[in-house]
Amino acid sequence: MKRIISTLIILLLVSPLGYSHIGSPGVTLEGKAGPYSVTVVVNAPEVIPGTASVDVYLVDPTVTEVQLKPIYWYAGSSGTPKADLALPVPGESGHYQGETWLMSSGSASIEVTVVGDKGAGSILLPIMAVSTAQGEMEASLGWALGGLGIFLVFLMVTIISLSTSDSMVKPGEPTTGKVRTKRRIGAAIGLGILVLVVFGGSSWWNSWSSDYTRYMYKPFTASSWVTTDEKDQQVLSFAIDSTRLENLYLTRSISYLIPDHGKIMHMFLLKMGTLDVFAHLHPLRKDSALFETVIPPLPAGDYYVFTDVTRLSGFSETIADTLTIPEPAESVVTAWNDSLLTDIDDTYYITDPILPSDGQ
C-alpha cells in the first residue's frame, strides 16, 4: 500500500497537467461542508495585509449562498469580522468566486460556509498568511509623483509667504519694502518647514520599508549530507540554517516544532533528471536544527530534498536542498530489509527512468 501511494505521488510530480510548485502559497482542499461536497482553491496575497482570492466549486444545484471568513489561530471564530460573500461566476454552474482580507501575518484559516436547501455547512481551510514579495514602483509613476510633489511644495511656499505679507496689506495700500521682506522671510520659513516634513516622511517611509523587508517571509536554508555508520548503512543528515534570518522571532521559533500526522518532519527525496527514484522518510531530531535518518539503498546520483515542518502556531513550511547520494555498500544492498529504516512509515519507490521523447 505504501508503495502504491508513493507511485501516485510520483505521477503527480511529473504530470504535465500539474501546474503547482514546491513552496507555493496556494492551497486546494476537497471535502465536505456539512451535506455539500466542495472543492476550495485559495490563492494567498503576496503582501499582508492583502486580499486572498477564493474559488469554491460545488456540484449541488440547491446551494443558494457561499460565505468566506478568515480565522486566525490566536483570535478564533469569535474574534473575526463578518463573512464576505462569494458570488456565482457567470456561465459556470457551481463555481463561486470571492475575496477575503488577511490582515495579519501568521497561521490562519479560511472558513467556507455553504448555505442551501439542505441547510448550512462549513469547512475550514488552513493557510499561511505571510508577505512574500515587495513591489517596485514604475519609473514613470515615480517621476510623475516627484513632479507633483515639487509643484505642491511650490504652492505651499507661495501660500505661506503671501499669508505672512501681502495678506496683511489693506486694499489700495502700496506694497512696501517691509512687506517684501516679510514675504521672503515667510517663504524661507515655509520652505524650511516643508523640507523637514519631507525629510521626516522620507525617513519614516525608509524605516517602514526596511522593517517590511526584514520581516518579509524568507524560507530557511539547509545543508544535507550522507555518512556511513558502523553497519555500513547510509545516514542522511539534514541541518537547518536559521542564522541567515535577521528576524529573531523566526530564528528562535525553529526550536518549537510540533508533529504533523505524528511526525516531526516529513522528508521527500526525488532523483534529479530521470525522476525514477522517490522516497518519503521521517528523520529523527537530534537537536534544535539537526535531523537524521537511515536511507534505503537508493541508486547513486543527485537528488532533490524537500522537508516539511510545522511550528507551534501551526505555521508550516517547506525547506529545500540538493543532495548527492553515493553508491551503497554491496553488503547493505544484499542484506537490506525495510525494517532497518528509521521509521515504520518510511517508504521508497524505484521505477523506470523518465526520458525525453524524440524531438523534445
Which of 23-27, 108-112, 345-349 bottoms out in mean pLDDT, i.e. has the lowest?
23-27
Integer Cα distance of 99 and 323 in angstroms: 40
Give pLDDT tens digits for 104-155. Answer: 887 888 999 999 999 999 999 888 888 888 878 889 998 999 999 999 999 9
- Whether 5 shows a pLDDT value over 80: the answer reads no
Give pLDDT tens digits for 152-179. Answer: 999 999 898 888 887 777 777 777 778 7
- Under 8 Å between Cβ of 198 and 153: yes
Give CA separation, 23 vs 10, 29, 318, in Å. 17, 16, 6
DSSP state of 356: P
- Under 8 Å between Cβ of 116 and 63: yes
- When pLDDT is cut at 50, 70 and 90, the band that residue 253 belongs to is low
Q: Which residues pair with 36 in a beta bridge?
A: 33
Give me 25's grid cell: 502559497
Cα torsion 309, 311, 312, 315 to 10°: value is: -110
Give pLDDT tens digits for 59-113. Answer: 999 999 999 999 887 777 777 878 899 999 999 999 999 999 988 887 888 999 9
